[in-house]
Amino acid sequence: MKQEINKLLQDTLINYPEAMAAWLGGSTATKTEDELSDTDLVVVASDAEKIFAAVEVSLNKNFPISQTWTVEEPQKYRQKFYILENTAPLYFVDLAVFVNPKPEELSEYFNVPRHGAAEVLFDKTDILKTASELFRPEVVPNLNRVNFLARLEIMYRIFQKEVLRGRYIDSFTFYQRLIHLLLMVERRKHSPQRFDFGMRYLYRDLPKESADFFESCLKVSSLDDMKINADRIKKRIEDFQ
């Protein structure tokens, strides 16, 4: 079903004048597809609205659209998500459209350790070929260890204060910040090209021991659980090389 929809979208756009290039990203690019995977389609075009309209007409003829989420937050591209009828229960289409970008604006999507290997569907103007040739690895910001450990200490002390005040929500807020600090150092060591990916893909990006540690820290139900784990997190960061 997913492959059928992918082919439908490719056939819809390849001869469409406003569509200059397209590729599949997401699980297709990272070679992690399974029966729950969605379609991540990226299009380079001269007019985003015409691309959305063409895709919607094509989908509605074959897999009627039941819901559409239009992403409103400012970003480098226009984006819509489509929930379709007559498909797997959790399936959806994620469609992003870049409008008249320069090749260098697309080059990061050819960073394989970061985004996987894009599956190019068509490239009428060679913009994707040029973008791939311009690719440069992400520059990972260095952490000033002295300053970072001071930040850790401040977050830890605020967390401890909220625990002593018996405020679960406030304690949890700063507990999450401690987890984030650990995430910053773990990702820089084990998956530097995804240093800013947050919690996503930890099972894939980190050693099993590290991913298991994060999972255990997220399973908390009380202030006591958080207190124990906060000490473990703090020590792990301080010992991290």
Render the burial of 62-100: b for 16+ CB within 10 Å, e for the rest: ebeeeeeeeeeeeeebbbbebebeebeeebbbbbbbbbe
- What's the pLDDT at 152? 98
Residue 56 predicted with pLDDT over 70: yes
Domain count, the chain: 2
Q: Are 222 and 163 in contact (CB under 8 A)?
A: no
- What's the pLDDT at 104? 95
Domain boundary among the residues 110, 134, 158 is at 134
* Termini Cα distance of the chain: 47
Which residues does 114 contact at the CB level (< 8 Å), separation at least 6?
A: 108, 138, 193, 194
Same domain for 168 and 94, yes or no, is no
Boundaries of domain holding 196? 145-239
Residue 241 predicted with pLDDT over 70: no
Report the mean per-residue pLDDT for the chain.
96
In a domain, 213, yes or no: yes
Same domain for 75 and 183, yes or no, is no
Residue 173 predicted with pLDDT over 70: yes
Mean pLDDT along residues 219-224? 97
Domain boundary among the residues 134, 167, 191 is at 134
User: Residue 229 has which token pair?
Assistant: 């784990």
